[in-house]
Amino acid sequence: MNRTIQAAGVILVSTLVVTAFQNCTEGFKPLSMPSEIIDNNDSGGVNIPPEQIADGKILYSQNCAACHGAIDSSNKKERTPFQISTAISTLSQMSALRTLSADQINKISYALGYNPNASANSCKGTRAADITAIFRMNKGEYTNTVADLFGVPESVADNFPPDNDGEMFANSAAQLAYASSAQIEQYLYAAEKIVETVFSTNKALIMTCNATSTAPATCAANIIDAWTPKILRRPLDSAERAKLLAMVPTTSGVSATDFEAGIQTALVAALFSPHFLYRTVESSSGAISELNNYEFATRLSYFLWSSTPDAELLNLAKNGTIKQQAQLKTQIARMLASPKAKRLTQNFASRWIGLSRISQRVPDATVYPNYKPSLRTAFEAETRTFFENMFSQNRSLTEIISADYTYVNEELSKHYGIGGVVGTQFQKVSIANTPRRGLASHGSVLMMTSHTDDSSVIQRGKWIMQNLMCDPPPPPPPNVGDSSSLHDMTLTKRQQLEVHRNNASCFSCHARMEPLGFGLENFDAIGAWRTSFNGKPVDNAGALPDGSPFNNPEMLVAYLQSTKAFDQCISKYLMTYAMARKLDDDDDCNVKDIAKSSVSEDKGVADTIEAIVRSDLFTKVKGK
């Protein structure tokens, strides 16, 4: 590129973009600020009689408050009768309470907020609109976008910092709100590199005319009008268009070199614009407004493709039909069938389940001498192939927990004890006649929730609570105490954990995690099925949150299906990813409405996506 013309163009465009960058970053407010709440409802079903709650508070004060504090303190959490009775029967510190009757325990539970009559669909709050947010592209979205626009390689963003790992999903707007001056400079260098790469490898993509065969002003307008709306994901207004055209010399007799350099400068300016680097939504202060067609197309595209809208989406936005129900169904189906939808597996599914953690597990060779790194690669491929086919084939999200099929190659099929598979290609196989069901029995999940030498009851229970039930345990308290019992080889695994759990500071979480983890004990640290451990039958006696026993994935699936816990949980995670922010109680009714209407065995993932993108949270914003 002619550096003199480029420099002049950058100086000119800087007057347009620097203030906008400052407005985008300095004016951004954290995403935790509340949006419009139109309803709060946490009662649901039949209310507990007030006198029973009052009795429960008295019983709590008499029996529990000395150790656990006043019942009205802000850190008190709902506890079921099963959880309370389990604590009383397990912890020596609570042995004096073993004379309490079941009725008294129930009343204490009611006082702590438990309502056995509450409807599964009761909820805490509904938003009428989302907050007005400014979303900066993360590194992955940037490379996808410029690749889809120009076909340039990922290396154009090599100098960008890596996507954040502070949140479950890398598109978290709270993490991407601000751009440092160094990052802004990197955006300029990347814009220059993109344009230079395209002009050196595929100039005809941009230069559809030239200043010698077409009037320079006409040619410049044709190119700017063709490309800048794609880059900015919307039509330019007249002022923007005029400023970009002013960067291109169009006087009579202008040389081809200078003309092309001007086009390059204009494209660099567009790629350096905050309207490219940020996705913004127009709104009025304090008012709820609906996303316009281009904003909606952009939000939809970055949700499903982690990239810019293609020509078809932009054309539908232009003609005003993109939000029509039939058209939206067609577009969701088309987008999920596209190879670009593999990014939904990479950026949503893999991060949701924590798939990257498998790389941190290197099984102990003395315990698993036949383990090879290729098996870990196969575990990852199985899970990714499962999700890619779920999205592209519009399978039900309930199959994440209940699928009686999976995808294996020859090596993995032998590891799972499944015959009839030959070669390195992954193929769909039935696991209906095996103990495996769904994601919880994938080797990837089982290995990443294990120690290097054995399975981890705690890690597996925590994974189920967090990823399948959306009920994660809190971080362990500081100075949690002695954990030496967990390494006492004279004790069984259950005895080790019981000693550890008898520590009152550990009990409340471990009493919920460990019974879930024990139900998967038949799977070893590399996901193979076993019936014995250290010469004894595997202790797989687990328990579900309602106290019922379970010792295999099918029993876990039955519980999650009966309680709808997973339906609501997967809806919450998918909505979190779509909205690019953490959800809270004020989003609770929105999530449960989506789960109730779109997650079931007879509905596909496209139905859930449609429910999300048609919701008020996705389509409306409230101005600051």
> 3-state DSSP helix/strand/coil percent for the chain, to nearest 5?
55, 5, 40
The whole-number pLDDT of residue 168 equals 86
The whole-number pLDDT of residue 17 equals 47
Q: How far is residue 261's CA from residue 220's CA, in Å, rounded to a whole number?
A: 11
Angle between helices 50-63 and 102-111 (to 10 degrees): 100
Side-by-side strand order, sheet with 620-622: 130-131, 620-622, 288-290
Structural contact between residues 560 and 566, judged by C-beta atoms closer than 8 angstroms: yes
Beta bridge partners of 529: 523
Beta bridge partners of 428: 407
Give the count of beta carbons closer than 10 Å to the beta carbon of residue 377.
Answer: 14
Where helices occur in 155-272 by DSSP H, the ranges are: 181-201, 216-232, 238-245, 256-272
What are all long-range contacts of 13-17, with beta carbons under 8 Å and residues at least 24 apart? 13/243, 13/247, 13/265, 13/268, 13/269, 13/272, 13/273, 16/243, 16/269, 16/273, 17/269, 17/272, 17/273, 17/274
The HSE-up count of residue 544 (CA atoms within 13 Å, CB side) is 20
Mean pLDDT per segment of 10 residues, for the chain of length 624 residues?
A: 44 45 40 36 59 89 83 67 72 75 87 70 76 83 98 93 80 86 94 97 96 93 97 96 97 94 98 94 78 96 98 98 98 98 96 93 95 97 98 97 97 96 97 96 97 94 94 73 53 76 69 87 96 90 85 90 92 96 89 95 97 95 78
Nearest in space to 133 (alpha carbons), one of 169, 176, 163, 168: 176
Whose tokens are 């009037």? That residue is 215
| 86: helix, strand or coil | helix
What are all long-range contacts of 420-427, with beta carbons under 8 Å and residues at least 24 apart? 426/381, 426/382, 426/385
The whole-number pLDDT of residue 491 equals 72
Nearest in space to 192 (alpha carbons), one of 9, 399, 17: 9
Q: How far is residue 448's CA from residue 280's CA, in Å, rounded to a whole number?
A: 38
The whole-number pLDDT of residue 43 equals 38
Strands 37-39 and 126-127: antiparallel
Amino acid at 402: S
**594-to-150, 517, 620 alpha-carbon distances in Å:** 37, 29, 16
Give the count of beta carbons closer than 10 Å to the beta carbon of residue 110.
Answer: 23
